[in-house]
């Protein structure tokens, strides 16, 4: 049964009206986005990132379920298999890593008073020496003790009031902890539900996004989404790989140098790997503190002090440079290729806007902005749109290939080209 719809009789909009309405809509969207809570935006961003990271696994399972004719059922089963695999790996990691980590954390907590006492004694031996400037003599350690003594002094009649205020102040934090726990649980449930639908229907969202673009710009949209995929895939999945590698490498280096809690040091280095440029440098700090306060457990005669700290720092610098030279170009590729200054500025801005999440996503966000700015420049100046990242000819072969090629060429040298231009001499007793 056909339905007769009323005709649309309004005239076409003018160019000025179109621009005004588009600007108004964008302004309303911006004002609406500002009213949304930051926790909601963080949940959405985390969901999108996790769905993007796990999309290759879902596609892998989907290709192996071709016997199921219904695509929606096949995709849903692929998402469930992906979740089972991720949860299994997560449970295996907890079973292998968490007990050892807790054991080392308890050991560190037991050793902390002794480490603090040793550090205090070392500082006292250094700062306890008098310093004479002209007729004025000062002992830095005595001045520090008197300063802290004045700050920590409390009048006897104020002790009861202080205790009462401290007890009363425990109520609000306790309620805040309960509220935060409930909020975290609800947010986690929402993230898991959104993650399921986004992992299942991700290709439909991409197709719908491209279909919403005018037909003449759909090719540009596919090109931009493809390059965005290269940028975010190289960074997110590459950072996960680098984090796992650096966790193992730093653990082995710390174990070889005899540092205490090598597993904790490896986990800290792997976690800080997600902070570009600054993370590897920050990972040295706990190792240097251990080297300054504890003796080496594997190298005889290497006592706590400056020498041990210098050796640890040199080892960390060597590991970081090997990572930058050999791992980063092969894992991350050239899709980011950002200057360290731009990355540091992006980290500061990301930290102020989104906290830890902004720090982690600072580098790919800058690469995304650069990609769109580059596209706008191409359209404004009528330039040819070239690929954003082109592989260099020198980087097409791996280090293993080049080493094998070098030694084989030394053993079996290649003849010069002139040799092949000469006709070979006729063999004696030929058939002709």
> pLDDT tens-digit profile of 361-375?
888 888 888 888 888
pLDDT number for residue 195: 85
Q: Are 350 and 358 in contact (CB under 8 A)?
A: yes
Average pLDDT of span 282-294: 86
Q: Are 123 and 141 in contact (CB under 8 A)?
A: yes
Cα 391 to Cα 257: distance, rounded to the nearest angstrom: 38
Domain boundaries along the sequence of the chain: 39-93+187-212
Strand partners, 138: 131
pLDDT, tens digit, 9 for 90 and up, residues 322-362: 888 787 777 766 656 777 788 888 888 888 887 888 888 88
The two counts, helices (H) then strands (E), for the chain are 18, 2
pLDDT number for residue 185: 78
pLDDT, tens digit, 9 for 90 and up, residues 9-51: 888 888 898 889 989 999 999 898 888 887 788 888 888 888 8
Average pLDDT of span 236-245: 85
Nearest CA to 337 among 238, 270, 191, 419?
238
Average pLDDT of span 231-240: 82
Asked if the model's pLDDT at residue 379 lies above 80, the reply is yes
Cα 361 to Cα 151: distance, rounded to the nearest angstrom: 41
CA angle 275, 344, 264 (to 5 degrees): 25
Cα 152 to Cα 52: distance, rounded to the nearest angstrom: 52
Element (H, E) at 133: strand 131-133
Residue 344: what are its φ and ψ, rounded to 5°? -65, -40
- What is the four-CA torsion angle of 76, 82, 85, 88, rounded to 10 degrees? -80
Contacts of residue 389, Cβ cutoff 8 Å, sequence gap at least 6:
227, 230, 333, 334, 335, 337
- Neighbouring C-beta atoms of residue 64, cutoff 10 Å: 11
Asked if the model's pLDDT at residue 176 lies above 70, the reply is no
For 419, left (φ over 0), alpha (ψ -120 to 50), or beta? Answer: alpha
| DSSP state letter for 9 | -
Q: Are 263 and 251 in contact (CB under 8 A)?
A: yes
Contacts of residue 305, Cβ cutoff 8 Å, sequence gap at least 6:
291, 292
Q: What predicted TM-score, i.e. pTM, was given to this entire model?
A: 0.62
Strand partners, 14: none
pLDDT number for residue 249: 93
- What is the SS3 assignment for 286-298? HHHHHHHHCCCCC
pLDDT, tens digit, 9 for 90 and up, residues 77-106: 888 888 888 888 878 877 877 777 777 677
Mean pLDDT of the chain: 77
Question: Higher pLDDT residue, 333 or 395?
Answer: 333
Q: Are 23 and 171 in contact (CB under 8 A)?
A: no
Nearest CA to 286 among 302, 266, 314?
266
Least confident of 163-172, 224-233, 309-318, 382-391: 163-172
Least confident of 115-119, 244-248, 252-256, 380-384: 115-119
Residue 316's pLDDT band (cuts 50, 70, 90):
very high
Residue 14: alpha-carbon gap to chain centroid: 47
Upper half-sphere CA count for residue 120 (Cβ side, 13 Å): 8
Asked if the model's pLDDT at residue 394 lies above 50, the reply is no
Helix (H/G/I), strand (E/B), else coil: 422: coil
Nearest CA to 203 among 78, 89, 80?
78
Contacts of residue 161, Cβ cutoff 8 Å, sequence gap at least 6:
none
- Neighbouring C-beta atoms of residue 289, cutoff 10 Å: 14
pLDDT number for residue 314: 93
Q: Are 312 and 257 in contact (CB under 8 A)?
A: yes
Percent of the chain with pLDDT over 70: 77
Taking CA atoms, 146 is separated from 67, 129, 137, in Å, by 79, 16, 16
Contacts of residue 222, Cβ cutoff 8 Å, sequence gap at least 6:
210
Nearest CA to 55 among 242, 236, 245?
236
pLDDT number for residue 305: 80
Percent of the chain with pLDDT over 90: 6
CA angle 109, 112, 117 (to 5 degrees): 160
pLDDT, tens digit, 9 for 90 and up, residues 398-425: 444 455 555 555 554 544 444 444 444 4
Average pLDDT of span 179-201: 80
């Amino acid at each position: 049964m056909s339905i007769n719809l009323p005709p649309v009789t309004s005239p076409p909009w003018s160019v000025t009206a179109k621009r005004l309405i588009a600007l108004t809509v964008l302004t309303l969207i911006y004002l609406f986005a500002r009213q949304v809570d930051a926790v909601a935006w963080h949940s959405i961003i985390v969901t999108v990132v996790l769905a993007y990271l796990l999309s290759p696994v879902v596609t892998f399972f989907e290709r192996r379920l071709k016997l199921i004719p219904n695509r929606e059922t096949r995709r849903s089963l692929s998402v469930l298999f992906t979740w089972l695999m991720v949860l299994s790996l997560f449970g295996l990691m907890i079973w292998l890593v968490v007990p050892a980590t807790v054991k080392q954390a308890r050991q560190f907590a037991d050793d902390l008073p002794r480490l603090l006492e040793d550090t205090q004694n070392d500082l006292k031996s250094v700062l306890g020496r008098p310093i004479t400037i002209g007729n004025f003599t000062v002992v830095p350690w005595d001045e520090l003790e008197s300063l802290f003594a004045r700050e920590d002094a409390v009048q006897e009649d104020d002790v009861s009031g202080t205790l009462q205020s401290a007890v009363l102040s425990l109520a609000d934090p306790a309620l805040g902890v309960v509220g935060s726990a409930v909020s975290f649980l609800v947010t986690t449930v929402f993230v898991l539900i959104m993650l399921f639908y986004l992992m299942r229907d991700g290709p439909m969202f991409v197709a719908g996004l491209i279909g919403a673009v005018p037909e003449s710009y759909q090719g540009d949209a596919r090109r931009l989404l493809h390059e965005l995929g290269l940028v975010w895939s190289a960074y997110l999945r590459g950072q996960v790989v680098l984090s796992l590698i650096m966790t193992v490498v730093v653990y082995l280096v710390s174990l070889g140098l005899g540092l205490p809690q090598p597993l904790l040091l490896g986990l800290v280095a792997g976690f800080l790997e997600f902070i570009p440029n600054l993370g590897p440098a920050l990972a040295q700090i706990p190792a240097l503190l251990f080297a300054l306060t504890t003796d080496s457990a594997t190298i005889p005669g290497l006592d706590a002090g400056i020498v041990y700290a210098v050796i640890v720092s040199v080892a960390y610098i060597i590991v970081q440079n090997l990572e930058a030279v050999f791992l980063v170009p092969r894992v991350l590729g050239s899709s980011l290729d950002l200057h360290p200054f731009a990355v540091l500025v992006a980290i500061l801005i990301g930290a102020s806007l989104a906290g830890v999440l902004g720090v982690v996503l600072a580098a790919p966000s800058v690469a995304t902005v650069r990609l769109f700015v580059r596209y706008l420049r191409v359209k404004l100046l009528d330039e040819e749109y070239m690929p954003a990242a082109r592989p260099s000819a020198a980087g097409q072969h791996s280090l293993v290939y080049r080493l094998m090629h070098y030694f084989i060429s030394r053993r079996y040298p290649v003849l010069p080209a002139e040799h092949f231009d000469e006709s070979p001499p006729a063999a004696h007793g030929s058939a002709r």
